[in-house]
């Protein structure tokens, strides 16, 4: 069953669009690093990151990525916090957790390069709830890349975003119209952030150009 997020209409911030994370069929096509400019082109990493997102302003020494790559003895406690985007799920340190609308129920399609930018929340044993989080929605799934057991919430595999520098950061919200915070009710908060709707990734297509031409005529 394909999980779909409840996308709310909003204006697209086209200037801040990040490239698509095709974690499925294109996972074998890693991007090319431009050694002169530091720009990364078309990576299978869950969205191209600009200099503001790939600098030193990332999670600290005990990073989410390190925990994801070394799941042994990993204990996961999840909570829910309130923000201007609504009530959403965080880890015990207050770091925001995300889901991808490219995933299927209990199946992560974010592998390889994608999982380096969006580290999966791995656990040894079972995750637990603290605060007002609905523990009945917690679950786990085995990843297809054999990296470990990933935590799910209402069936959605959970991830960190490596460019969230501090607890409470939500830089991953809306990336590529695919990545969303997960609400305490178990549904993606598909509004706000970098891009509001998946369809906005097609902004500037020939159809739009033709429409503008008609208006100028």
Q: 34 pLDDT exceeds 70?
A: no
Q: For residue 130, give both structure tokens.
A: 């603290």
Residue 102 falls inside a structural domain: yes
Residue 215 lies in a domain: no
Please tell me the distance from the alpha carbon of residue 101 to that of residue 87, in angstroms, as a whole number: 19
Q: Is residue 20 part of a domain?
A: yes
**Structural domain count, the chain:** 1
Position 11 in a domain: no
Q: Is residue 195 part of a domain?
A: yes
- pLDDT over threshold 80, residue 59: no
To which H or E segment does residue 141 belong?
strand 138-142
Which of 13-17, 77-81, 159-163, 169-173 shows the lowest per-residue confidence on average (mean pLDDT)?
13-17
Specify if 183 maps to a domain: yes
Distance between CA atoms of residues 161 and 172, nearest Å? 6
Task: Give the gyration radius of the chain's Cα atoms.
Answer: 17
pTM of the model: 0.63
Res 168 pLDDT > 50:
yes
Residue 43 lies in a domain: yes
Domain that includes residue 165, residue range: 16-27+38-206
């Amino acid at each position: 069953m394909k999980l779909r997020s409840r996308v709310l209409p909003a204006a697209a911030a086209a200037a801040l669009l990040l490239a698509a994370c095709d974690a499925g069929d294109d996972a074998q096509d890693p991007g090319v690093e431009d050694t002169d400019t530091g720009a990364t082109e078309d990576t299978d990493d869950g969205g191209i990151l600009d200099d503001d997102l790939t600098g030193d302003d990332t999670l600290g020494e005990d990073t989410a990525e390190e925990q994801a790559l070394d799941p042994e003895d990993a204990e996961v406690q999840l909570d829910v916090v309130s923000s201007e985007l609504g009530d959403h799920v965080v880890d015990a340190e207050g770091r925001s957790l995300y889901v991808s609308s490219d995933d299927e129920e209990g199946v992560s399609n974010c592998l390889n390069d994608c999982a380096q930018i969006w580290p999966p929340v791995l656990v040894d044993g079972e995750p637990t709830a603290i605060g007002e989080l609905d523990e009945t929605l917690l679950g786990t799934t085995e990843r297809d890349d054999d990296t470990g057991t990933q935590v799910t919430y209402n069936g959605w595999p959970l991830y960190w975003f490596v460019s969230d520098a501090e607890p409470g950061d939500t830089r991953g919200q809306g990336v590529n119209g695919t990545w969303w915070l997960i609400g305490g009710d178990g549904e993606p908060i598909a509004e706000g952030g970098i891009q509001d709707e998946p369809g906005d990734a097609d902004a500037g297509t020939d159809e739009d150009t033709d429409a503008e031409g008609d208006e100028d005529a």
